[in-house]
Amino acid sequence: MQRRLTWRRALVLSFGLLALLVAVQFLWRGQPPTQDQRPTTLVLAHRGVHLNYHKGRYDLKTGCEAQHIFPPSHAFLENTLQAIAAAFDAGADVVEIDIRKTADNDLVLFHDFALECRTNGTGLVAERTVAELKALDIGFGYTADAGQSFPFRGRGVGKLPTLREALQAFPERSFLLDHKDWDQASLQILIEQLADVPTEQRSRLWFWSSAALQGRLQSRYPEIKPLFFTRREVKDVFAPFFASFGLIAIPDAYRGRTMAIPVEYVPYLWGWPYRFLNAVHAQGIHLFLMVDSADEAQQYASLPVDGFITDYIERTGPILSARP
């Protein structure tokens, strides 16, 4: 009987100590860094200034977003030169753009693999030439009222740009290239086109693709680095670091990578904000917050994070770009 009580006490004490450890980890916030220790903070605009959509409504099979947009508050279509310029004007440091291969072995800025959702065309982007794609109305399919009206029809003809046109239009700016095809053929086209881009301009580019394709591009152009962890790397590399309260280190090969976290998740981060950020930075990792409203931007703008990602650069950019 005495042994059983002793064992129970030991078990209760162990659980109590574990609970105390977890509580300390989550409640101990740490100290803010001094001003000269603050990281350089980047503001990344997803697809430039674009028409956002109800996230839970689009067709999972087709990925069609344009038929579920919110009522438009501006006249910009994603991945166009106009949308990119507007994002930079609103305070973006980096604009994410989607690149896809065409039938005549060029690269254009377009999100979907098929044309039916956003445009008046049919078939795959990869089955059409640049000339055919530029003849399409890329605003044709956008509707906020289940097809009762299409406010952008006739306003997107000729607005689909090539990657070359985007890089030539913004030679001093930074881009995150989202490689939508994830194949060797389109990567080879990218490698060939980037040979004509000055090294200094290439150094302002980041790339998102599979780890293997990222490695191939970086072996040719070491100045073009991956920005974010891939989903697999988040699971294999960042998750153990997070679950162990930072005791399991992130391998040196991943130093310089970025972890993006929606702001609704930050209350669940141990040591948030300063001790968590210090631990992440000690591992050579950057942390971006995903913010979409002016209130969120205002709330988090002063934190010493490495960057912000936003789908609403027109709302958040003026606040984030004005941070001290």
Using CA atoms, how far apart are residues 315 and 204, in angstroms rounded to an integer?
25
Q: Cα(201)–Cα(223) distance, rounded to whole angstroms?
A: 10
What string of DSSP letters covers 105-174? S-EEE-S-SBSTTTSS--SBGGGS-HHHHHTSBTTTT--SSTTS--TTTTS-BT---BHHHHHHH-TTSE
Q: Residue 214 has which token pair? A: 């990222």
Residue count of the chain, please give it: 324
Other beta carbons within 10 angstroms of residue 193's beta carbon come to: 17
The CA distance from 50 to 95, in Å, is 11
Strands 225-226 and 205-208 come out as parallel
Q: Contact at 8 Å (CB) between 76 and 48?
A: yes
Q: Which of 252, 305, 310, 227 is nearest to 48 (CA)?
A: 310
């291969």: which residue's tokens? 101
d(CA 210, CA 215): 9
Q: How confident is the model over 80-97, as pLDDT tens digits?
A: 999 999 999 999 999 999
Walk along the chain (324 residues) and give the pLDDT tens digit of each residue: 555 557 666 665 666 555 555 555 656 676 777 656 678 899 999 999 999 998 877 666 667 899 999 999 999 999 999 999 999 999 999 999 999 999 999 999 999 999 999 999 999 999 999 999 999 999 999 999 989 999 999 999 999 999 999 999 999 999 999 999 999 999 999 999 999 999 999 999 999 999 899 999 999 999 999 999 988 899 999 999 999 888 899 999 999 999 999 999 998 999 999 999 999 999 999 999 999 999 999 999 999 999 999 999 999 999 999 887
Q: Give the residue among 227, 171, 177 at the shortest CA–CA distance from 199.
A: 171
The pLDDT tens digits for 246-284 are 889 999 999 999 999 999 999 899 999 999 999 999 999
For 205, list phi and psi in degrees, rounded to 5. Answer: -110, 145
